[in-house]
Amino acid sequence: MNAAVRIGLRSLLAHKRRLAGTVLAVLLGVSFLAGTMMLGDTMKANFSTLFANADAGTDAVVRNADVLDVPNTPGGVRAPIDVTLADRLRGLPQVAAVEPAVQGVGQLVGSDGKPVGGQGPPTVAGNWLADSHLNPYRLAEGHAPSAPGEVVVNRGAATAGHLKLGDTTVLRTPDPVTVHIVGIATFGQNADGMGQITYAGLTLADAERYLMPQGHDQASELRLRATGGTSQRALVAAVTPQLPKGVEAVTGTQASDESNQQVSGGFLNMFTTLLLVFAGIALLVATFSIYNTFAIVTAQRTRENALLRALGAAREQVLAATLMEALAVGLIASVGGLVGGVLVATGLKALFQAVGFPLPTGGLVVSGWAIALPVLVGTVVTLGSALAPAVRAGRTAPLAALRATDVDRTAGGRSGLLRSGFGLLLLAGGVALAVSGATNGPSVQLTSLGALAALVGVIVLGPVTASLAVRVLGAPLPRLRGVSGGLARLNAGRNPRRTAATATALMIGVAVVTLFTVFGASLKATMDSQVRASFAGDLAITSSGSGAGGSGLSPRLADAVAGVPQVSQAVGLGKGVARLDGHSRPLEVADPARLAGVVDLGQVDGRMDELGTDGLAVSQNEAGRQGWTLGRTVTVSFADGTSTPFTVRAIYQDTGVTGDYLISRQAWAPHRVQDSDTLVAVALKPGVSLSAGKAAVQQVAAGLGNPQVQTRDEFATSAAKGIDTMLSLVYALLALAVLIALLGIANTLTLAVHERTRELGLLRAVGQTRSQLRAMVRWESVLVAAFGSVGGLGLGAFLGWALVKASDDSGTGSFAIPSTQLVVVLVAGLVAGALAGLRPARRAAKLDILRAIQSS
């Protein structure tokens, strides 16, 4: 075994240039995996630190006991509690301080008139806490708010909005409130803010007025500080008997852990899983490059391995020597990938920042698992990919040293027939499963299983179809590029196994890109058609410049717009959440009587205008799923702890604007916390032009937060803009997998040039010019890339169709083929193939003719 180790290491040192491409492919794949894990660890640590710092001085929290869990909302949704409870608790000997904490949504407007933040992270407004131990913010400039209209903002928000001490601006709550900045605060001692969250601190009276439903004597929670020597648990035990029914006390540590766990268990897990999927794709693509490299290198060393066998080396020693070489490559590349992982983690944070998903700030955190697993995976993937070539190397007969050996292998013979039969069985079965899952059910699980089987079938059939595919794709080359094109076509098809393995890596990358492109285009088409079908108004008013963390629209806006002479009808649609028969569900809140003429619900069974204060409207799909019919009584539990029987009084068809559940504003008003609308739909009077109506509505809306006013077509188009952001992110994440595939093409061609040295020398000797030789190698690369790109487009389009249909539970989705984008993907694949062939082509053209002819 020691001899095998020495042989393997010496072989690695002797052929290190040939394995450089493989090292780079493994390094990139491991870098993505390590970077993903490092980023996940960093985000968990950063969120944990954020919540711990925010609650560091709080020993106990008194809050409403009932909570409605809402995804990505730390702590869920709770109703406010009575502020006067603070006076009762201040008299307890275990309590050193009590501060009512009012917290809601409040979005600052910058000096340029644009809202600050709101692209995911919350825009928080609340009362400034006088107790420095309970307040995580510290004044860096100015003073605390003490009069109506005064506000303290965090330094990060002030910088982003170009605001300074003494400025007057607007705070959207969502009603616009004019505020005067009297203080600039840091989070803790020197941080600009709590991550990417913006903060505006008001007086308690202002916070209650603008952020609480009753406008006075209410708080989101009470924060308590214990006297010296009193533990958090002891404080909670002392406070609990003083609390009314429905109110609870928890330790500050528990409250912080709950918020952190909700983020870590929801958003972070989903986020990390998504990145790990792309890391897996990158490593899968790298596997083909590794296999191809070792297969070629092993074939090139047939005579060398045969000589070792003739000198007495056993099969196991030759096998071990090849695996030792693979082990060294895997370890070297994997360790290098850890360094690359730091760069990838940093780059991913910048990428998400660029596309509008800023992540919490903080230093990079690297756990032992994030070091050990990528090294282990990279090494195992390299060894596994090299195993089959290593076994073939061990089977080399000693007599092979006495004869010239052809390294090219075909996919014919008995093995080719077995491969064809097995591949066709997998492909046909996979397609049948995918089609069945997409059309009968539908079933995402069945479709995914079929997609996986079809993918494996395509990979297995690759060597069988490669020769024919290359001949067909390269048919125009002899006419277009003459002898060089004809030779490139023959070279690309002479070793189907190699061509298939090289092209498959690119095929997988292109297939995934195509799948997401088709799926994204179909989502956009579905959203566009649903909005156009269900939005019957002429104008739509949405909150400008704010995303998931924005303030929304003033609930007074719809009535103000309805009073415009050019407007015939305006209705606001807001969001709520409640527990229906024990399950948390999002609610749409609107005035049902005003929906007619601006929102088309399709076929409606029952009466929308008779919902009243205890009526519920449900979509047809959701009613069918729940087994509800008209007249059915459903228990609705709100965040304030009240449970009320609601009657299903209407069942509607289209959900493009309204979602699956709708209640009236009268029903929602007693249970709301901070009221806001997400959309105001406007219908103009007959004869009023869009331009005139839009101008009149904009003039009124400017005084209520200056939201965005769009025509129906503009609104339908903008509703799908988030899909483009998602696709941009996916393309950026898949770029690494495609890069690894292109490295595989370049590496394969470089090795092929080395093994065909004598052949290329003879071509030069009989008159082939350097430029013709370069063109031949480049076109060979383009043909391999064309095989991978065309196959990837076909496979990705089919899988995209299957995924679209399988995920369309309602049967109202649209399927779209974005021909322009797919042509761009194809052209990009061909251009990338040409670029991948540049270096091998230059190396081939530099060969010395006489030395090339003399080589064996």
- Three-state SS annotation for 832-853: HHHHHCHHHHHHHHCCCHHHHH
Residue 198 counted as domain residue = yes
Total domain count, the chain: 3
Q: Which of 188, 216, 251 is the last residue of a domain?
A: 251
Output the pLDDT for position 407: 47
Question: pLDDT tens digits, residue range 476-533?
Answer: 888 888 888 888 888 888 778 778 878 888 888 888 889 888 988 888 888 887 777 7
Do residues 96 and 199 share a domain? yes
Residues in CB range of 516: below 8 A, 6 or more apart: 727, 730, 731, 734, 800
Task: Provide mean pLDDT across the span 137-141.
Answer: 91
Do residues 91 and 154 share a domain? yes
Residue 270 counted as domain residue = no
pTM of the prediction?
Answer: 0.76
663: containing domain? 555-704
| Helix (H) or strand (E) segment spanning residue 238 | helix 232-239
Output the pLDDT for position 300: 62
Cα 704 to chain centroid distance, Å, stands at 34
CA 227/CA 233 separation, integer angstroms: 13
Do residues 163 and 118 share a domain? yes
CA 395/CA 37 separation, integer angstroms: 40
Do residues 99 and 204 share a domain? yes
Residue 347 counted as domain residue = no
Where is mean pLDDT largest: 395-404, 685-694, 807-816?
Answer: 685-694
Do residues 691 and 758 share a domain? no
Closest CA to 60 of 5, 101, 2: 101
In this structure, which amino acid lies at residue 254? Q
Question: pLDDT tens digits, residue range 704-732?
Answer: 888 889 998 888 777 777 787 778 878 88
Residue 564 counted as domain residue = yes
- Structural contact between residues 136 and 56, judged by C-beta atoms closer than 8 angstroms: yes
Judged against a pLDDT cut of 70, whether residue 305 lies above it is answered with no
Average pLDDT, the chain: 82
Do residues 777 and 700 share a domain? no
Residue 126 counted as domain residue = yes
Do residues 563 and 659 share a domain? yes
Do residues 700 and 725 share a domain? no
CATH number where 691 lies: 2.40.70.10
- Structural contact between residues 153 and 200, judged by C-beta atoms closer than 8 angstroms: yes
Do residues 467 and 526 share a domain? yes
The alpha helices in 311-367, defined as continuous H runs, are 315-354
Which of 134-143, 443-452, 496-505 has the lowest average pLDDT?
Answer: 496-505
Across 130-259, the runs of DSSP E, i.e. the strands, are 137-142, 150-154, 168-172, 176-187, 198-202, 218-219, 221-226, 247-251
CA 675/CA 689 separation, integer angstroms: 32
Judged against a pLDDT cut of 80, whether residue 31 lies above it is answered with yes
Where is mean pLDDT largest: 104-118, 738-752, 836-850?
Answer: 104-118
Do residues 561 and 526 share a domain? no
- Residue 206 — pLDDT band, cuts 50, 70, 90? very high
Judged against a pLDDT cut of 80, whether residue 298 lies above it is answered with no
Residue 595 counted as domain residue = yes
CA 464/CA 466 separation, integer angstroms: 6
User: Residue 661 pairs with which residues in a beta bridge?
Assistant: 618
The DSSP 8-state label assigned to residue 122 in this structure reads: -
Question: pLDDT tens digits, residue range 62-79?
Answer: 998 888 876 545 556 888
CA 744/CA 298 separation, integer angstroms: 16
Do residues 470 and 570 share a domain? no
> Could you give phi then psi for residue 197, rounded to 5 degrees?
-75, 135
Percent of the chain past pLDDT 70, that is, above it, reads 87
Residue 671 counted as domain residue = yes
Closest CA to 407 of 322, 503, 296, 500: 296
Do residues 632 and 745 share a domain? no
Q: Which of 226, 251, 276 is the last residue of a domain?
A: 251
Q: Which of 232, 251, 270 is the last residue of a domain?
A: 251
Q: How far is CA 68 from CA 91, 541, 670, in A?
A: 32, 29, 16
Residue 388 counted as domain residue = no
- Residue 16 — pLDDT band, cuts 50, 70, 90? low
